[in-house]
Amino acid sequence: MTEKSLKVFFNYTIYSLAILLVFLLVFEQYLKIPSLINWLGRWHPLILHFPIVLIFVTIVQYWRMDKNITWYLAITTLFTLVSAVTGFILSLDGNSKGNIIITHQWLGIGVSFLMVVWYFKFSKLKDKSIKSLLGLLVVFIVLTGHYGGMVTHGQDFLSFGKSSNEKMLTLPDNPNIYTHFVQPIFDKKCVSCHNENKAKGELILSSYNSLLKGGESGPLMNDLENTLLHRIELPREDDDHMPPSDEEQLTESEVAILKNWFELGASESLAFTELDPESGIFKIVQNKINESKAQSWSDLPEVTDKDLHALNSDYCTIRRLYHGANALQVLIFPQKNYSIKVLQNLKPVSNNIIELNLFDLPLTGKEMKLLNSFEHLESLNIRGCTITEEDFNELEYLKNLKVLKAYDTQLGDEVVNRLASFTSLRDLYVFNTNITSSGVDNLRSKNKNLNIMIEATEANDFKAVLPPPTLEPARYFFRDPFYVKFEHPLNQIDFRYTTDSKDPDNNSAIVSDSLLIDKNCTLKFFASKVGWESSIIDSMTFLRSNQIPPRFKLEYPPNEKYIGKGGQLLFDHEKGPMNFGDSSWMAYLENDFILSCEFDEIFTLNGVILSSMVHTDPYLFPPSQIMVYGGMDAGNLRILGTLRPSEIKEREEQHFEYYHCAFQPCEVKFIKVIVQPLHKIPIWHQGKGERGWFFIDEVVFKSVEGV
Amino acid sequence: MEPNDELMNEKLNINRRHFFSKLSVGLGTVALGSLMIPGLFTRRGGLDADMPMLGVPHFAPKAKRIIYLFQAGAPSQLESFDYKPLLNERMGEDLPESIRNGQRLTGMTANQDQFPLVGSFTGFKQYGQNGTWISDYFPHIGKIVDEICIVKSMHTEAINHDPAITFFQTGNQNSGRPSMGSWMSYGLGNENQNLPAFVVLTSRGKGNSQGLYSKLWSSGFLDSKHQGVLLRSGKDPVLYLNDPDGISRSDKRMMLDKIADLNNQHYHRVHDEEIQSRIAQYEMAYRMQMSVPEVMNIKEEPESIIKMYGAEALIPGTFAANCLQARRLAENGVRFIQLYHQGWDQHGNLPNEMSKQALDVDQASAALVLDLKQRGMLDDTLVIWGGEFGRTNYCQGRFRPDNYGRDHHPRSFSIWMAGGGVKKGISFGETDEFGYNIIKDPVHIHDFHATLLHLMGIDHEQLTYKYQGRRFRLTDVAGNVVNDLIA
């Protein structure tokens, strides 16, 4: 082709393309593009690169005053127009044009127009005007390119900054699943290709209605299948898999959220509180809520470790809620010289305090006023604090306050109105306060979202059994009459008792103050109180022992392992404890216990009581025989009484035992007591055939006079 | 330093060419290093820089404190929380070898030629929303079953008490490691500077008891200020805490100040951290003189509380009284409160002894959980109840139709947890119908520890202490957080 014919070719082609472009623009709404032309339009993303480069090259060549500048101009203009035409056709492919496409279109038209003008008029224009034309051209091509990029990649494609750390919206306590979870996933991963400006597969995912409408293959959700889910669950290599394998993929939890939401009916109004706690989506959502809470704490002003260290003291602990967080937890404990200064010192970090605990402090209105400046306070605990209702009511509505613990205080119903105004409050604890149940009902009716805990009602039917009372003084053996009092850890107890060895019941006598013990008796008693189950019946035996021999001797010493205090323990009025290794006990095994006593004055003896202990496991058994001798002179004693304790037939737990050898009264000055430890342990016991131990801690001589 | 001068001079003798080439290579290496070691330039540098600061949870915790009701001696899971009616049906039959699968036996039953199965003599009832089966020995725990999570699939390797309890408390069967409470104190610090972070209360039931050792609450190789403090039930809750007669509090203050001076001088010479720890402990003891009696004073508790725990709560030294103390300590910011109740080692006479043991703890444990609930403390206080291993499904000794005992069984046992971020009202894990092997979701002690630390906001792999050349942690070299337990 000759130079001339080429020039003609270019002229006419450019001319016709320009006219075509104008025609297309004018008659846009009447156009119906056939499919082949449609296909041609898809070459736009390829062809558009040529004008971009060629325009710049042409400008450079122009500046260099190249001789062949017209050649450059021709080819550039040709490509520009072809690009514009194909671009226009492409824009008609699909649904309505978004704003970005329209802007891009007109900018592109502008570029084409400028190129055409330059081509046809280049020789006629003055230098200055060409320069301004070129300036405009550069601006237009850059803008066109930029908007073109936005159409393809999304509006923020070029915006600088960490896109992964988008500022997450703080989730409300009861987020809507669609608005806060589903749509954000679409926004992040799908909408760049599925929006009004660029709708691949004719699917727009930027709003709920367009989601429902679906795309090319019809509505997304019909009875048969859900195309969206199907596509995202396909393996990544599959052609139909969405998002496309070279784009950012959906994470596991995102897939789970979408799947669950669709399964639950894909409702626009589904909220977090309506979710089943067992479902997988519940946990994901819960975690996101917690994360967002943490995220909202990341907006708090910074607190350095140095600041914290300075504020911590023996009675005030300030901690970060977790590593690196600017959210703080404060605990203030009671101290002797408490003053409001402790709270005032917190002012520098008052905006960071999320949790404040004031234990057992004397609070006044001043402290409450201070708290009003703690804007981010979410949890307040004033357990055990003394504060009047008036002072408490100085506390104003803190919009972040969700939890208030005021148990063990004296607050009454006067704070109910103030509490009702705290509309953000979710949990209130008023166990052991003066707030009545009508106050609670009142509060509940005013604030339906508020959980009020007064007491754990599950414990209402816990059985409450009183412990038995203790006796003071617990004198098992006494010489002179004395008064015994009943002691009990609780107040307002009725102590019922009997002295005749019969079990007491609810009709038995009540001890008014104390009881006089002046003779041998067995006291049985229990404690009772309204609202409590009565205690078990306990008993105690009191033995009067006022015949103490001034001189006595033991024929055989006790077993060397259990000598105890020696013979004096027999008349010291001290009861040995359950631990028979104690020095209040003495024991006999191989030898007999033979006690001879001499008195200064004659008295009438009618019984001897031996205080002992029985415990079969360590071989402590009743003696086989007890014999009592008495008389007026040592050489001439006659037997007064014999006692053979009954044999034990089976294992017995450890317990005290009293052996009472009673007989006809007899005047005596000398007494001899002989006790034979058990010779042969019965066969049911593992120590059968061996001797049994006899333990003794007291001997009591009963006299007629001394009853 | 003469010998080094020549070397030094040699090294400083460098020409410009070498200087620049070394500089560029050096900078390049450092740049490479900053790619591989995160934060090389921003933090203190080195691998340790990743270790989060002590005294603060690593991430937002669910629980702020733990109350551990440890049942020493190993209560039988078959008479408490693991209902196995098959054992009652097959009462007296020999344990099939296929079930036993060669499990190691203790010396006490290894010589038995027969292993007769024995089912619980006491009945089980269903409680709560999920119809959980709880033994009649623990009716109060049945009432709170919707608040607790029963883990039926705990297992351990230890077969006898000492190594088993040590394993539970320190993460290793051999002694010498710090206990759980000490790790918590080390990792999280104290909420209340006037009380120890780790407190121990013990009580003893009437059943067969095994001993407890103070190594179970020792701080091992950690600073001694992290050790557990045993609060006794007598007149002096802490031995040697009170001033001797004739010394007033202000005298004590002066004395402590002077001692601290001397100790500080020594510290500056020697730099032994233990000295600082000692000074801190003197100060803590001084403050505890005031704070401990106040906390232990239960006279101000309202009567309704006493009713809830049972009147035994008024008798110091009982489990019920310790539970009430535990609640008071928790309210006052103690991080880790460990209760021990001895007497659960029922090798024989189980029906008799266990019913008495259960009476000691049943109402008080349930009351503790409910008391925390009504104070709003259950959400951030973790309550744990359990022993060191389980008991066998076969009878120890000759099988008698009226009485029986059970030997040790480490392969499966049950514990329960409440509050502190644990799921409510569920049973986790399952054993087979013989109550011998675990068939679902086993939880090893290491996993248990990892989960506890996780609930307290600590990554169990990050809380370490370097000792004897390597970094130790509570979970040693194992442990996985059991996420299904966490709400």
DSSP letters for A540-579: EEEEE-----SEEEESSPPPGGG-TT-GGGGGS-----S-
The pair of structure tokens assigned to B163 is: 């190594």
pLDDT at A343 over 80: yes
Of A317, A465, A531, the CB nearest to B193: A317
Residue predicted with more confidence, B201 or A225: B201
* Chain B residues with CB-CB distance to A467 below 8 A: 311-312, 314-315
Give bridge partners of residue A605 from the DSSP assignment. A666, A703
B424 vs A: CB within 8 A:
no
Q: Which of B56, B308, B375 sits opposite A407 (nearest CB)?
A: B375
Q: Which residue has the tokens 């009592």?
A: A628
What is the complex's ipTM, to 2 decimals? 0.80
Structure tokens at B16: 């410009």
Place of tokens 């950690």: B222
Confidence grade of residue A654 (pLDDT, cut at 50, 70, 90): confident
CB pair distance less than 8 Å for A462 and B363: yes
For residue A614, give both structure tokens: 């029985």
| Residue A530, Cβ density class (10 Å: 0-12 exposed, 13-18 middle, ≥19 buried) | exposed
Q: What is the mean pLDDT of residues A471-478?
A: 86
CB–CB contact A317 B303 (8 Å): no
Task: Judge: B287–A314 Cβ closer than 8 Å, yes or no.
Answer: yes
Phi, psi of B266, deg, nearest 5: -60, -40
Contacts of A234 (CB under 8 A, 6+ apart): A240, A241, A242
DSSP-H helix ranges across B67-221: 85-89, 97-100, 139-143, 161-170, 180-188
Which amino acid, residue A632?
A: M
Q: Which residues of A touch B310 (CB under 8 A)?
A: 462-465
Distance from CA of B97 to the nearest CA of A (A): 35
Tell me if A359 sits within 8 A of A334, measured CB to CB.
yes
Whether residues A405 and B333 touch (CB distance < 8 A) is answered with no
Q: What is the pTM assigned to this prediction?
A: 0.71
Query: How far is A702 from chain B, CA to nearest CA, in Å?
Result: 37
Q: Is B254 on the interface with A (CB under 8 A)?
A: no
**Residue type at position A409:** T
Would you call B425 exposed, middle or buried from its count of C-beta atoms within 10 A (0-12, 13-18, 19+)?
middle
pLDDT range class, residue A616, cuts 50, 70, 90: confident
- Averaged pLDDT score across all residues of chain A: 85
Give the pLDDT mean for A253-280. Answer: 75
What residue type is B236 in one-letter code? D
Please say if the pLDDT value at position A551 is more than 80. Answer: yes
Nearest residue to B305 (alpha-carbon basis) of B358, B362, B361, B364: B364
Tell me if B56 and A322 make a contact (CB, 8 A cut-off).
yes
**Cα dihedral B172, B175, B177, B180 sign:** positive
Count Cβ neighbours within 10 Å for each residue of B178-206 and write b for 16 or more, e otherwise.
bbbbbbbbbbbbbbbbbbbbbbbbbbbbe
Residues A467, B376: C-beta atoms closer than 8 Å: no
B52 touches chain A (CB under 8 A): yes
Task: Name A648's Cβ contacts closer than 8 Å, sequence gap at least 6.
Answer: A614, A616, A621, A622, A682
Nearest 5 degrees, angle CA A317-CA A321-CA A324? 115
Query: Cβ separation of B333 and A531 shorter than 8 Å?
Result: no
Give A545's pLDDT tier (boundaries 50, 70, 90).
confident
User: Which of A613, A606, A591 lies closest to A659 in space, CA to CA?
Assistant: A613
Of A459, A461, A465, the CB nearest to B311: A465
Interface test with A, best of B130, B328, B331 (most A CBs within 10 A): B331
Q: Name which residue leads in pLDDT, A187 or A331.
A: A331
User: Number of residue pairs across A and B with CB atoms under 8 Å?
Assistant: 114
Instruction: Return all residues near B381 (Cβ < 8 A) that are at least 6 apart.
Output: B63, B64, B65, B66, B67, B330, B372, B419, B420
Q: Exposed e or buried b for every residue in A635-663, given b needs 16+ CB within 10 A? A: eebeebbebebeebeeeeeeeebebebeb
**What pLDDT is stored for residue A221 in this prediction?**
63
Supply angle C-alpha B391, B393, B395, rounded to 5.
95
Compute the distance between CA of residue A475 and CA of residue A512 in angstroms, rounded to an integer: 20
Nearest to A462 among B191, B302, B367 (CB): B367
pLDDT surpasses 60 at A163: no
Distance from the Cα of A451 to chain B's closest Cα (Å) equals 11
What is the rounded CA–CA span in Å between residue B482 and residue B478? 13
Residue B164 gets which letter from DSSP? H
Q: Which of B347, B346, B329 is nearest to B338 (CA)?
A: B329
Maximum pairwise Cα distance, chain B: 97
Q: How far apart (Å, rounded) are the C-alpha atoms in residues B51 and B54?
A: 9
* Nearest-CA distance B314 → chain A (Å): 7
Q: Which fold has domain B60-244+303-485?
A: Alkaline Phosphatase, subunit A (3.40.720)
Three-state DSSP at B10 gives: helix
Cβ within 8 Å of residue B122, ≥6 positions away: B79, B135, B136, B137, B351, B355
Q: From residue B137, how far is each of B125, B263, B327, B373 by CA, in Å?
A: 10, 55, 24, 23
The structure tokens listed for A133 are 């034309």
In this complex, the residue of B57, B144, B307 whose CB is nearest that of residue A322 is B57
Nearest to B302 among A432, A458, A531 (CB): A432
* Residues 129-158 of chain B whose Cβ lies under 8 A from any Cβ of chain A: 140, 143-144
Cross-chain Cβ contact A464/B314 below 8 Å: no
pLDDT for B104 equals 77
In chain A, residues with a C-beta closer than 8 Å to the C-beta of B457 are 322
- The b-or-e profile of B288-312 (16+ CB within 10 A means b, else e) is beebbeebbebeebeeebbbbbbbb
Mean pLDDT check: name the lowest of A92-96, A129-133, A665-669, B443-447: A92-96
Would the CB atoms of B315 and A467 count as touching at under 8 Å? yes
C-alpha radius of gyration, chain B, whole number? 27
- Residue from B332, B374, B484 whose CB has the most chain A CBs within 10 Å, to mutate: B374
Q: Does B359 touch chain A (CB under 8 A)?
A: no
Which residue among B59, B191, B373 places its CB closest to the CB of A322?
B59
Look up residue B475 and give its two tokens. Answer: 């979970």
Give the mean pLDDT per block of 10 residues along chain B (487 residues). Answer: 68 84 88 73 50 76 94 94 92 86 79 86 92 94 94 94 94 93 92 90 86 90 89 79 84 91 92 82 84 83 88 88 94 94 90 89 94 92 95 84 86 94 92 92 95 93 89 91 89
CA distance A511 to A527: 10
Chain B nearest CA to A483, separation (Å): 25
Q: Is the pLDDT of residue A373 over 70?
A: yes
Q: A232: exposed, middle or buried (C-beta count within 10 Å: 0-12, 13-18, 19+)?
A: buried
Give CA A123 to chain center in angstroms: 82
Instruction: Pick B310's closest partner by Cβ from A458, A465, A489.
Output: A465
Q: B413-419 and B381-386: which strand pairing?
A: antiparallel
Cα A457 vs. chain centroid, distance in angstroms?
A: 20
CA distance A262 to chain B (A): 25
Q: Do A424 and A402 form a contact (C-beta atoms < 8 A)?
A: yes
Q: Where are the domains of chain B?
A: 60-244+303-485
Distance of CA A701 to CAs A207, A592, B351, Å?
Answer: 104, 19, 44
Closest partner CB to B192 (pick from A317, A405, A463):
A317
Mutate one of A282, A322, A383 to test the B interface: name it (highest B CB count within 10 A): A322
Using a CB-CB cut-off of 8 Å, the residues of chain A touching B292 are none
Break chain A down into helix, strand, coil percent, rounded to 5. Answer: 35, 20, 45
pLDDT value for A144:
92
> Residue written as tokens 């644990």?
B422
Alpha-carbon distance values, A132 to A114, A144, B96 (Å)? 11, 18, 100
Helix axes B273-296, B249-270, angle to 10 degrees: 160
Question: Do the chains contact at B307 and A464, CB–CB below 8 Å?
Answer: yes
pLDDT number for residue B455: 95
When scoring A427, A431, A454 by the number of chain B Cβ atoms within 10 A, the one with the most, hence best to mutate, is A431
Taking residues A10-27, report their average pLDDT: 91
Closest by Cβ to A456, choosing from B303, B331, B374: B374
B269 burial level (CB within 10 Å; 0-12, 13-18, 19+): exposed
A638 neighbors A629 (Cβ within 8 angstroms): yes
Q: Chain A contacts of B51, Cβ < 8 Å?
A: none
Rounded percentage of chain A residues whose pLDDT exceeds 70: 94
Q: Per the omega criterion (within 30 degrees of 0), is the bond before A243 cis?
A: yes
The tokens for B414 are 């049950």
